[in-house]
């Protein structure tokens, strides 16, 4: 006899108590299933952030990198009383917005191409997205040095075609940083958008075209809204990664890029100036600003693209 039949045969008060116990049992089982993930999040995300926050509140007046047992907000005082923070925020937000916009546009077209292709072409397109993920971040970023430098491959091609009269310095510089950062985050954005498109019924697009919609209009008004959850995820990933970018500004940027990138400012305070409380204060401020920016960005995309179901 099933649980439903057995509970229906009991008196009403006992049946209600039995159903309550069953619901609690289900919630406990769900909690047990979630326990490993919760422990993972606490150990690898929450605990390090709390340690970071504690170091940022230590006294930096002593001749120590880290003075345990002391309490002070001097690190935050130095962060908010210099122009370094404003310059870092301005540079990082600009880099994040520019790299994100380029990445999401390219990723949307690329994911659409994967979705509509078949057979060997589809496999090749997917493989070309996954292949960069199998290469270490430093190596694939540094690979742009011989490609974009003044005596690199791109300048050689442009000079041979008489498109330019003298080499252009893409690297080191802002152009190289943006190109490198887009290349780093593009595979994740493509996979996020493609995972949503793969569940979409192509018959909806065909119906729109049968009703008179042109190809571009059917994509903009049917495909893009349906792909909006993936676009939102791609935007958040690209923006968060680009704002805190380290490899691209460090390897492909010039002196100005390295002096203003948020992650490199933290590195300088931590390893060069040996001011741990200032470095961690910068890191905490950066994390908080990133969270606020992502919330605002997601809310904006939800407003223009419909509600995004967080599951």
Domains and CATH numbers, the chain: 75-305 (1.10.3720.10)
Residues 6+ apart with CB under 8 A from 181: 95, 99, 241, 242, 245, 248
The model's confidence at residue 20, banded by pLDDT at 50, 70 and 90, is low
CA triple 251-255-259, angle to 5 deg:
95
Distance CA 235, CA 36 (A): 28
Token pair of 24 as six digits: 């609690």
Tokens 């950066």 sit on residue: 286
The pLDDT value recorded for residue 2 is: 47
Between 4-18, 128-142, 233-247, the lowest mean confidence (pLDDT) is in 4-18
Percentage of residues in the chain having pLDDT higher than 70: 85
Closest CA relative to residue 247, chosen from 142, 169, 143, 135 = 142
Read off the pLDDT band of 311 (50, 70, 90): very low
Sequence-distant (≥ 6) Cβ neighbours of residue 297 within 8 angstroms: 235, 236, 239
The percent of residues in the chain predicted with pLDDT above 90, rounded, is 17
Average pLDDT value for residue range 278-294: 85
pTM score > 0.85 for this model?
A: no
In this structure, what token pair is assigned to residue 50? 């709390």
pLDDT reported for residue 310? 40
Answer yes or no: is pLDDT of 226 > 80.
yes
The Cα 151–Cα 174 span in angstroms is: 17
At residue 6, φ and ψ (nearest 5 deg) are -70, -40
Task: Write the CA distances from 31 to 25, 37, 39, 49, 128, integer angstroms.
Answer: 10, 10, 12, 24, 39
Across the range 272-282, mean pLDDT stands at 85
Q: CA-CA-CA-CA torsion for 68, 74, 76, 77, nearest 10 degrees?
A: 180
pLDDT (tens digit per residue) in 203-215: 888 888 888 888 8
Contact indicator for 175, 147 with CB cutoff of 8 Å: no
- Top pLDDT among 25 and 5 is at 25
CA dist., res. 179 & res. 198, Å (int):
28
Task: Please determine, for residue 15, whether its predicted confidence score (pLDDT) is greater than 80.
Answer: no
Least confident of 14-23, 76-85, 133-142, 183-192: 14-23
Average pLDDT, the chain: 82
Distance separating alpha carbons of residues 264 and 84, to the nearest angstrom? 11
Compute CA distances 292 → 16, 100, 142, 212, 237, whole Å: 45, 16, 31, 42, 14
């Amino acid at each position: 006899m099933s649980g439903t039949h057995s509970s229906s045969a009991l008196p009403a008060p006992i049946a209600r108590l039995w159903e309550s116990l069953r619901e609690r049992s289900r919630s406990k089982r769900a909690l047990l299933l979630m326990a490993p993930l919760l422990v993972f999040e606490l150990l690898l995300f929450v605990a390090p952030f709390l340690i970071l926050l504690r170091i940022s509140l230590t006294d930096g007046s002593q001749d120590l990198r880290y003075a345990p047992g002391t309490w002070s907000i001097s690190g935050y005082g130095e962060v908010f009383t210099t122009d370094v923070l404003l310059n870092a925020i301005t540079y990082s937000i600009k880099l994040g917005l520019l790299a994100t916009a380029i990445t999401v546009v390219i990723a949307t077209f690329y994911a659409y191409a994967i979705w509509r292709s078949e057979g060997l072409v589809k496999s090749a397109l997917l493989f070309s997205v996954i292949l960069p993920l199998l290469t270490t971040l430093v190596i694939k970023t540094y690979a742009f040095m011989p490609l974009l430098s003044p005596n690199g491959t791109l300048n050689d091609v442009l000079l041979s075609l008489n498109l330019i009269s003298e080499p252009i310095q893409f690297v080191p510089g802002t152009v190289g940083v943006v190109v490198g950062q887009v290349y780093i985050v593009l595979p994740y954005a493509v996979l996020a958008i493609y995972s949503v498109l793969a569940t979409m019924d192509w018959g909806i697009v065909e119906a729109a075209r049968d009703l008179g919609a042109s190809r571009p209009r059917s994509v903009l008004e049917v495909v893009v809204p349906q792909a909006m959850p993936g676009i939102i995820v791609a935007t958040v990933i690209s923006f968060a990664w680009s704002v805190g970018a380290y490899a691209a500004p460090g390897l492909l940027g010039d002196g100005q890029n390295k002096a203003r990138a948020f992650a490199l400012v933290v590195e300088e305070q931590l390893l060069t100036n040996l001011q741990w409380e200032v470095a961690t204060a910068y890191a905490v401020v950066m994390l908080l600003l990133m969270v606020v920016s992502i919330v605002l960005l997601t809310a904006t995309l939800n407003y223009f693209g419909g509600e995004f179901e967080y599951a």
